[in-house]
Structure 1
Amino acid sequence: MKVTVIGTGYVGLVSGTCLAEVGNDVLCLDVDAEKIRILEEGGVPIFEPGLQEMVRRNVAAGRLHFTTDVQRAVDHGTIQFIAVGTPPDEDGSADLKYVLAAARNIGRLMTDFKVVVDKSTVPVGTGAKVKAAIADELQKRGVEVPYSVVSNPEFLKEGAAVEDFMRPDRVVIGAEDEQAIFLMRALYAPFQRNHERLIVTDVKSAELTKYAANAMLATRISFMNELANLAEKLGADIEMVRQGIGSDPRIGYHFLYPGCGYGGSCFPKDVKALIKTAADDAGIGLKVLRAVEEANDAQKHVLTEKLKARFGDLTGRHFAVWGLAFKPNTDDMREAPSRELIADLFAAGATVSAYDPVAMDEARRIFGDDSRLRFAASPREALRDADALVIVTEWKEFRSPDFDAIKSELKQPLIFDGRNLYDPKFVRGMGIDYLAIGR
């Protein structure tokens, strides 16, 4: 099947590459000529395990192509995925200008039947806006060309996106047109050979499903973070509480790990957008989600509070930070807790030596040449002459460190763990003062 993917960001590139992997002829469009050049030369502008190898394999096989030519992209695919960014506007709502611009280009240039698929995370009602934008362009041209608009939200976890796409737990298709549903079923058939994973809904329900899923997961995280803060005050151990409630099959263990707050490109943005949509379009104040957002904003400062409680004035202090990405297996630092921590430390007069396996280039772009931040070539180098180690991201290489080396490199044996990586009794038995979240 011929497929066009508009946008080669995280969602677009993963989706297009995985669709090519199962035999489709995929053309990915982007207005960023430099990004297209990198992709054509076999590079990948984002870090995602397994993606670069898959891109190279499918380019070599002639199934995956890249272009900046809008006409070529519209002509190519019967199915046109819109996978452009929907950044938060100043009021928290999702900015649809890129989505609607893509829709207008399709309407301006299409000459035969198209299934236009909203892959970007968009508010309820966007499908109707996309349909109207295409209709408006066709009217300007004075032509009638058949098309259908479908909602197909993505459920890709950064760091496991290729696996998530190739082996989905569900594929949600929001559509009312039978021909579009038939084509989408055919497109996703290779990904659900063992059992039916495809869920067909109306367009609005599919759009809301994506926001509802992310909002639910964000709620679980903020709830556990608040319980962790309470456990700490009461002298309980949140890890034991997690095991106790996670064993209940009605609750389960997923997304019950407390820490120093969630970040990334989805949860913060989508919670804000859902709150805004509810208020503006339905006149409903989502009290639970407002509390989720408030709790997460506060949790990003919990490590700073612990540092100040231990040291008092942080002026002149120097801290080692392990982990900059918002989660492991990605270089994404959007809304990352590390950004809040480092900003807090700078404001308090401290300096930082940071290490992350893949996100340091992104951190350099964000922080620039700030002399208060030094990037270390290794976890051990970051420790050198620091007053304490602060762990922000749960990379695997941090899970079993050389604790003797930590003791020897730090000015004092002291760890603030924002991800609860270690057994407190073991670490303290090594002669290291260990402060975690809710333990």
Structure 2
Amino acid sequence: MDLKIRSQFIEYFIKGIKKPNQLKIGVEHERFLFEEKNKKRISFSKLKKLFNNLKKKNWEPVFENKNIIGLKRGKQKITTEPGFQCELSGAPLETVHDVCKESSNFLKEIKEASSGLNIKTASVGFDPFNKLNSIPRSPKERYKIMTKEMPKNGKLSLEMMYRTSGIQINYDYTSEINFEKIFRLANYLTPLTIALYANSPFESGKPTGYLSYRNKIWQKTSRGGIMPIVFEKVTFEKYFDHVINYPILFVIRDKKYVKPNGQIFRDFIAGKFRNIRGKANLKDFETHLATIFTEVRLKQYIEVRSLDTCDWGCICNGPAFFTGLFYGPLDEAFKIVAKWTKNDVMNAYLESPKKGLSTQIGGKKLHEWANIFIQMSKDGLKTRNKMNIKNKDETIYLHHTENVIKNKKSRAELLLDRFEERENLDFFDDEKEDFSYSGL
């Protein structure tokens, strides 16, 4: 590969470097939208009504082939996943207070826009009611291609696309070395992330035997998992060399999606894409990066992607936990996980969706590690000293996570307790979306 071309792509990651006073937090969270009466997923026509109501809140429509596929307002976006899961892609914000306020405002807007439409949301990471073949499908062109291509290399890829909802947290980096530490720490902590925020124990009205069935599904998804490069020194160049060997899902030209014939992105850089003249550009590279579905990934920021969707208040807790670590005592936290072996991490990764906090890693249960890392996170947030209007720092958003650790019970286990009492999922009818755990 031509060194000049190679350096242009690697420069993409270098341009993501921020100054210490420019660090932001971005949160993306998905929600299932159900018909209130029968728990079926809403149709495209119902979604359009919801979007029309949201337009009254200064959201601007986004179209594809004359179909409304999302909304935008400033740096915020509302998009839909393959089965019309509704996602807020939040703006890059300075504090967890800001993140929580943004989510709170979105909750209020969704509630108001849903009024009269008989739409109910559910705070859970896997659809507990509907089979795959009963779920309506988005008209987005990219999802049509993914629906056809993804199952070829991951047998549960369609389950991932249509039946899961998750939370993604985005973080900046201040240098290549800083990127490596955050990236590797986030990957090594994936089993703990799964255990702490497990919230998907049901499928088709019954327990699955897993606390995070969503994460079990994602482990058998094409282009997913933990990247093997994280167990050694990682640089922007090494990340680039790894991701260009993934097959291309699609390329966008003149607002149309072009499907390749099994070529990898390295071929495209060399001008060997049979369906398109010329070579890959940076926009193509950006599109390619967004079609890699690993637990942690890099764009011009780092994405942490292993959290199940949880209740609205809990949305504040994941960002608080990781912000305290990544923007706090990062070196100290990284020294701890650097002692874990690849086998330690991978075995815990595979076991954590079922065993949760009782999973072993590095000679301790995840519950024991959780006590260590929550204290480090709390110290990091105290040092940040970011106050809200009530003069409280960001540690107030750790309450939910602290309760999980104290009681040794994730939200999934609390839901299973309720199922055992009633022997059905009717308790979801009693669920009220609020900020009872948020610390606001």
TM-score by length of 1: 0.23
Larger gyration radius, structure 1 or structure 2: 1
- Higher RCO by CA contacts (8 Å cutoff, separation 6 or greater): 2
